[in-house]
Amino acid sequence: MRISYAWLRDYLKLDLPADELAEKIERTAVEVDGVIRPSEGLKKVVVGHVLECVPHPNSDHLHICQVDVGEADPIQIVCGAPNVAAGQMVIVALPNSWIGGHTKIKRSKMRGEVSNGMLCALDELGFDEKLVPKEVADGIFILPADATPGEPVFSYLGMDDEIIDMSVTPNRGDMLSMNGTAHELAAIYDQTPTMPKVDLTEDAADLADDDLNITVQADEQAVPQYKMRLIKHVTIKPSPLWLQIRIWNAGMRPINNVVDATNYILMQYGQPLHAFDFDQLDAGQVNVRFAKAGEQLTTLDGEERDLLATDLVICSNDKPICLAGTMGGLATEVTDQTTSIALESAIFDAVKIRKTAHNHNLHSEASMRYERGIDHGATEKALDAAAAMIAKLGNGTVTSGVVVGRDEDVKPVEVAITLTRINHVLGTDLSLDTVSDLFKRLDFPTTVTDDTFNVTVPSRRWDIHIPADLIEEVARLYGYDNLPSTLPTGQPTIGKLNETQQAIRDARKLMESAGLTQAISYSLTTDSKARAFALHASDVTTLDFPMSSERTTLRLSLIAGLLDDLAYNNARKEQDVALYEQGRVFFSQPEQVRPKEVEHLAGAITGSMVKTAWDTAATPVDFYQIKGIVAGYLKSLALVDPISYVATTAHAEMHPGRTADIYVGDQLVGFVGQIHPTTAKAYKIRETYAFELDLAALIALPKARQQYQPISKFPSITRDVAMLIDDTVTNADIVALIHDKGGAHLQDVHLFDLYNGKHVPEGKKSLAYTLTYQDQAATLVDEDVTKAFDKVLSALTEDLGAEIR
Amino acid sequence: MSLQDRLTELRDQGLADIKSADVLKKVNQVKVDLLGKKGPITEVLHGMRDLTPEERPKVGAYANEVRDKLQAAIDHRRDELEQAAVNKQLVAETLDVTLPGRQVPQGQPHVITQIITELEDLFIGMGYQIVDGDEVEEDYYNFERLNLPKDHPARDMQDTFYITKDVLLRTQTSADQPRSLENHDFSKGPLKVLSPGRVYRRDTDDATHSHQFHQIEGLVVDKHITMADLKGTLTLVANELFGDQFEVRLRPSYFPFTEPSVEADVTCFNCNGKGCAICKQTGWIEVLGAGMVHPHVLEMSGIDPEVYGGFAFGLGPDRFAMLKYGVDDIRNFYLNDVRFLSQFYKKG
């Protein structure tokens, strides 16, 4: 809502700078987007009197004008506007002036003739084209004949005004009007506003009822009020300049005296009005109902619209002529030929209008106000004011009486609140008098009994109906700046992360110290990416009405998003990337409306984690690097059940020979491996290794109780074994066997060498382990260790076919 | 030549030899030559047999003095030479200490996580619990229980991704409010929770819009919670994030689930309130929305608004990060360009 400061002064005595006023509005009522000064940046633009206007000898459309700009001699200006003529008062941009769009006007020559400036149209002064009246859109603007040559032009066009652009919140629909804003500012500045008076003269001999007949078929909730007046003998013409100024400064385009009058009253009262060409109505018959499927209406913008059963329509003899509260119909539009006006002032249900505006994508000044509510007490006042204005501007007569299709009994709302309650909620110590004064400033009639205020809220503040609403009025008028600043007291509470939250933070820290940087990717992705890398088979959760095909489905894994991130980096020549993500995946649940949201942890690495440096060669990442990161994290969890890595070919997007499922005991908790080269190619990434862990499952698994292990006082003995063994035998097989046969004192088995290069027969590999033996209670005897070790050696040979070297 | 003179001669010669010995080996040789069992001093001592009993102790004492002196000179010279050798080695071992250290791979938290963690810690310190709500929520909790019935105009402010007619991606972490309210046992004390998390809006991604972003919602409900408490809490948040040199102002706003509703602005940290491009010349930056919990919201959760009341506030870590670090494109937070991520090094 754009509020003209000049217009505000009709209501209130205000002389503070507009910026201060704006700041006050912002701190007390609604947000202000800014103060608009239409003349800002314009310079040396003055009134000119065209003394002489002759055709340019070298042009078929230019004119050479001698223009009095208040100086001793007239100046010559060449003008191309078709409507320029001698005798006119015009807008002159003098040499070295600044006009709209930061344009500087200089003295120039046009086809051999000197031009000392320019005659201007409104859009050249920076007017939005949508606000320029259509009749002056194609030429220069003609100022009133009494304008004084040489004076700055701004005051003649309302451009010296300051316009406060308010962003009105949905609850403060009352401030979508000059009257409402004036009431608000009157409360803020403790003034009594001068409200507009309606000076309506009716033609007692001509009864509106005789010509106009209204039936409202729609229910009372949909249409609580519907009233009309009939104005006859109206001459349609452009509005006087003062009215046009108010209309364009409010951000609307002046159309003609009737439409402008309805828009003016709309701005003033916040009551949408609609003017019908009475003669286009069928025998003066008007009915209001819901549209029927299949009905059509051509609206003012020329669009033929298919009406919906939820649309309220105004009909004439049951034929739709207007989309209620949203937009009028073309057939009953006020035109230059119109002489009689059927003027509507009504209230329509907010929800119905909202639906219609939404369904037809028609958002108008009227629909916006209906959606936010209307003062039920001002419908008739606005109707009278508009009728009087139309009659005055169009030299018409208002017929006698209001034709009422529907009316309601509007009662003010009574709200009671105690002073104790106000101070209790605000944390203040306001006195009875202070609060009484605030209600008085709001012009809310109030009686006080003991501690209780009985407040009568006028219909113009329909947003207020419960005590909390009154507390807000008190708080904002008293001033939020004046509230004390404290912290909640009362029973102390313990703040701490729960186990899961702490475990998630720990996981993040560990990933970071392992060299992975946290990524946050999109949860929504394509259908195929959402399904990729899923740890468990699941259906996906899909948006009903996505914005783009890239974001349709909730992810089942984090890896897919990380691969997108890697691709983004790779495409920007960042080849070494190590990322992890901690977030939710969404497994759909049969018979459940919502998916199961599971916390996951995933990582993806590509390139090298350590770059080539003066002392280090870059080592490309590989399976064992990512497995080391996963193993380090799992170790930190101190899980009770053993962790195992089982080779798997089950994940279509993973390398079938380089991927392991990760189990804790019997439970699958994730997988780790290389991204399948084909998948990598599809994602446009290089060789990449990744893991996905079900973090929620890991957090829930039993953890080992931390217990101190005494450190043996007795020395340990080690034995190394090197063997040649079949490629198909895994490290896990060997380690398991060694542990199985190792005896009571075997403490550790450590793989220290793996070789399958030269001198190793085809199909074989060479492995070497260190076995550590230690006794907690005594010094080990060499022979005992040898005995135990020999058992291991023979088991390796016999059970696994190892050739001990 | 008397024995004394001979000793003096040996001493002077010995000291000169020690001084001129330039390697350890030579020092050792001097020691063997002078003080050895067959050395000249021993020889002198053997000559004492010929002395009178009166002279013997004198010469003996003098001989010991000479020997001690020579021994001390040898020890000293040896130390000197050893030290010199060590010094020489140290010089040879000198490194260019400005060469970079060996890399240890080190990752870091996302900037959004940094901000969330910072605020979580602030509020945990004030006795708040952290609550993680679901990202897929029912329309009922996301809107209706927050006093936003279907067809409420304020729903326009939050264009929504629906999954079904009744299920959606939460548009606000406020969706956790009703669940927190209905799950809380007020006999155990006040409700004080902070809910950080991802939210979604049906927006086309551009520099200032993202269909996915984050919010942090705070909620306190007890028998006596005041708007002054809200003001104090919001001031604390603003100070934590931007520093305590800035002013905080509250101004009226509208959220269906709070009444009164306010928005909090903080003095523009960039221009200190003078007006600049970041604050759109206003001198203020809008940082969060808040208010006193609407009585209807309490009632719908079965809490008597006559007895209990509270405040709620919500803020956007993405927006904070953009303001605080001058990030000009919100998409940067979700594209995970390592050159972007690595710029924010703080606590996680």
Q: Answer yes or no: do A425 and B227 touch at CB < 8 A.
A: yes
pLDDT at A551: 95
Q: What is the pLDDT of residues A731-770, one digit of tens each?
A: 999 999 999 999 999 999 999 999 988 888 999 999 999 9
Please say whether the beta carbons of A595 and A586 come within 8 A: yes
Q: What is the mean pLDDT of chain A?
A: 95
CA distance linking residue A76 with residue A73, whole number of Å? 10
Q: Answer yes or no: do A609 and B226 touch at CB < 8 A.
A: no
Strand partners, A203: A399
CA distance linking residue B309 with residue A425, whole number of Å? 8
| Tokens 């040489």 sit on residue | A150
> Is the confidence at residue A415, as pLDDT, over 70?
yes
Where does A593-622 have alpha helices with state H? none
pLDDT at B55: 83
Q: With contacts defined as CB-CB under 8 Å, which chain A residues touch B247?
A: none
- Shared domain for A273 and A322, answered yes or no, is yes
Rounded to 5 degrees, what are φ and ψ at A347? -125, 130
Report the CATH number that the domain containing residue A249 is assigned in CATH.
Answer: 3.50.40.10
- Shared domain for A575 and A426, answered yes or no, is no
Please count the structural domains in chain A. Answer: 6
Q: What is the pLDDT of residues A618-642, one digit of tens each?
A: 899 999 999 999 999 999 999 999 9
Short-list A129, A141, A154, CA closest to A81: A141
pLDDT at B346: 60
The token pair that represents A507 in the structure block: 């996981």
Please say whether the beta carbons of A100 and A127 come within 8 A: yes
Q: Is residue A396 part of a domain?
A: yes
pLDDT at A513: 95
**How far off is chain A from B203, nearest CA to CA, in Å?**
7
| Region label for A413, one of left (φ > 0), alpha (ψ between -120 and 50) or beta (otherwise) | beta
Where does A373-412 have alpha helices with state H? 379-394
- Shared domain for A216 and A339, answered yes or no, is yes
- Shared domain for A29 and A49, answered yes or no, is no
Given A482, A508, A537, which residue is the final one in a domain?
A482
Please say whether the beta carbons of A458 and A473 come within 8 A: no
Q: With contacts defined as CB-CB under 8 Å, which chain B residues touch A554?
A: 136
Count CB atoms within 10 A of the CB of residue A103: 14
SS3 A145: coil
Q: Is residue A494 part of a domain?
A: no
pLDDT at B156: 66
The token pair that represents B91 in the structure block: 């010089």
Within 186-215 of B, beta carbons closer than 8 Å to A belong to 189-190, 192, 198, 200, 202-204, 211-212
CA distance linking residue A643 with residue A351, whole number of Å? 59
**Portion of chain A with pLDDT greater than 70, in percent:** 100
Q: Is residue A262 part of a domain?
A: yes
B276 versus A406: which is more confidently predicted? A406
Q: Is A60 annotated as a binding residue?
A: no
Q: With contacts defined as CB-CB under 8 Å, which chain A residues touch B102?
A: 613, 615-616
What residues have CB less than 8 Å from A747, skipping those under 6 apart? A716, A772, A773, A774
Interface test with A, best of B161, B237, B311 (most A CBs within 10 A): B161
pLDDT at B157: 62
Radius of gyration of chain B (CA): 42
CA distance linking residue B315 with residue B238, whole number of Å? 11
pLDDT at A638: 93
Asked if B19 has any chain A CB less than 8 Å from its own CB, the reply is no
- Shared domain for A678 and A529, answered yes or no, is yes
Please say whether the beta carbons of A495 and A203 come within 8 A: no
Q: Is residue A705 part of a domain?
A: no
Q: What is the pLDDT of residues A295-337, one digit of tens each?
A: 999 999 999 999 999 999 999 999 999 999 999 999 999 999 9
- Shared domain for A664 and A741, answered yes or no, is no
pLDDT at B348: 43
Please say whether the beta carbons of A293 and A287 come within 8 A: no
CA distance linking residue B135 with residue A555, whole number of Å? 12
The token pair that represents B287 in the structure block: 């940082």
Count of positions (residues) in chain A: 805
- Shared domain for A438 and A529, answered yes or no, is no
Q: Is residue A324 part of a domain?
A: yes
Q: What CATH superfamily classification does B111-341 receive?
A: Bira Bifunctional Protein; Domain 2 (3.30.930.10)
Tell me the residue range of the domain where A102 lies: 43-156
- Shared domain for A506 and A401, answered yes or no, is no
Q: Is A408 annotated as a binding residue?
A: no
Q: Is residue A598 part of a domain?
A: yes
**How far off is chain B from A439, nearest CA to CA, in Å?**
16
Q: Is residue A491 part of a domain?
A: no
Short-list A782, A745, A753, CA closest to A770: A753
Of the candidates A472, A512, A515, which has its C-beta nearest B348's C-beta? A512
Please say whether the beta carbons of A439 and A243 come within 8 A: no
> Is the confidence at residue A706, as pLDDT, over 80?
no
Q: Answer yes or no: do B105 and A520 touch at CB < 8 A.
A: no
pLDDT at A805: 87
CA distance linking residue A611 with residue A594, whole number of Å? 45
Asked if B274 has any chain A CB less than 8 Å from its own CB, the reply is no
Count of positions (residues) in chain B: 348
Name the stretches of chain B with pLDDT < 70: 156-158, 346-348
The token pair that represents A702 in the structure block: 């039993």
- Shared domain for A476 and A424, answered yes or no, is yes
Strand partners, A35: A164
B240 versus A532: which is more confidently predicted? A532
pLDDT at B149: 86
- Shared domain for A520 and A611, answered yes or no, is yes
> Is the confidence at residue A193, as pLDDT, over 70?
yes
Q: Three-state SS string across A559-583, please?
A: HHHHHHHHHHHHHCCCCCEEEEEEE
Overall average pLDDT of the A59-81 stretch: 93
Start-to-end CA span in chain A (Å): 91
Tell me the whole-structure pTM to 2 decimals.
Answer: 0.87
Report the CATH number that the domain containing residue A185 is assigned in CATH.
Answer: 3.30.56.10
Q: Is residue A79 part of a domain?
A: yes
Short-list B311, B293, B345, B177, CA closest to B236: B311
pLDDT at A707: 79
A-B Cβ pairs (cutoff 8 Å, strict): 267
Overall average pLDDT of the A661-685 stretch: 97
Short-list A351, A302, A462, A490, CA closest to B308: A490
Given A406, A435, A450, which residue is the final one in a domain?
A406
Q: Three-state SS string across chain B, please?
A: CCHHHHHHHHHHHHHHHHHHCCCHHHHHHHHHHHHCCCCHHHHHHHHHHHCCCCHHHHHHHHHHHHHHHHHHHHHHHHHHHHHHHHHHHHHHCCCCCCCCCCCCCCCCCCHHHHHHHHHHHHHHCCCCEECCCCCEEEHHHHCHHHCCCCCCHHHHHCCCCECCCCEEECCCHHHHHHHHHHHCCHHHCCEEEEEEEEEECCCCCCCCCCCEEEEEEEEEEECCCCHHHHHHHHHHHHHHHHCCCCCEEEEEEEECCEEEEEEEEEECCCCCCCCCCCCCCCCEEEEEEEEEECHHHHHHCCCCCCCCEEEEEEECHHHHHHHHHCCCCCCHHHHCCHHHHCCCCCCC
Interface test with A, best of B116, B227, B284 (most A CBs within 10 A): B227
pLDDT at B161: 93
Q: What is the pLDDT of residues A507-530, one digit of tens each?
A: 999 999 999 999 999 999 999 999
Overall average pLDDT of the A542-562 stretch: 94
pLDDT at A650: 94
- Shared domain for A151 and A167, answered yes or no, is no
Q: Answer yes or no: do B259 and A471 touch at CB < 8 A.
A: yes
CA distance linking residue B292 with residue B218, whole number of Å? 11
Rounded to 5 degrees, what are φ and ψ at A337? -85, -10
Within 125-154 of B, beta carbons closer than 8 Å to A belong to 125-130, 132, 134-138, 151-154
